[in-house]
Amino acid sequence: MKKIALVLLVCCVAVACGGKKEVKQVSPESKTTTEAFVLAETIRTAFINKDTATLQKSSTETGLRDITANTKSFDKVELSFTPRWVEIEASQLTVNIAWKSTWVRSGQRSDERGMAVFVMEGTPLRVSKILRANPFVFPEK
């Protein structure tokens, strides 16, 4: 009796596990969101490495002005982004990004944090504006 119950249990498990899993397609909104996160990370890396060619390619003229608004020179910057929220509208995309930065200038260290809104548009996406607390501006202290 125990053997029959065990065989039935094994058969039920085999039938339940043997089916093919349905692969869900990635939505266009998900693809756009992923592209926005990659763009934000690309701009962060280009800013740290002072790669102006990548910054120009990844942003509009107004967006580039927002990114390069830092008029003070710095020796080193550490910058981290954490995307928090994405809104997709017909012609543009807004990405809320929490950020932390550590700036080093003439041996002085300055830590900052804030929340920025990156406005992105076009195909492929490009940063057109940075609203709220701009992570690319040297902190005033």
pLDDT in tens, the chain (141 residues): 555 544 455 555 555 665 567 788 878 888 989 999 999 999 999 999 989 999 999 999 999 999 988 767 788 899 999 999 999 988 889 999 999 999 998 888 889 999 999 999 998 899 999 999 999 988 776
Beta carbons of 76 and 92 less than 8 angstroms apart:
no
Q: Does the global pTM surpass 0.85?
A: no
Bridge partners for 117 per DSSP? 96, 131
Largest CA distance in the chain: 83
Q: What pLDDT, on a 0 to 100 scale, did the predictor assign at position 117?
A: 96
- Distance between terminal CA atoms of the chain? 81
Q: What pLDDT, on a 0 to 100 scale, did the predictor assign at position 105?
A: 85
Which residues neighbour 13 within 8 Å (Cβ) at sequence distance 6 or greater? none
In order, the DSSP letters of the chain are -HHHHHHHHHHHHHHHHHSPPPPPPPPHHHHHHHHHHHHHHHHHHHHHTT-HHHHHHTB-HHHHHHHT---S--SEEEEEEEEEEEEE-SSEEEEEEEEEEEEEETTEEEEEEEEEEEEEETTTTEEEEEEES-TTSPPP-
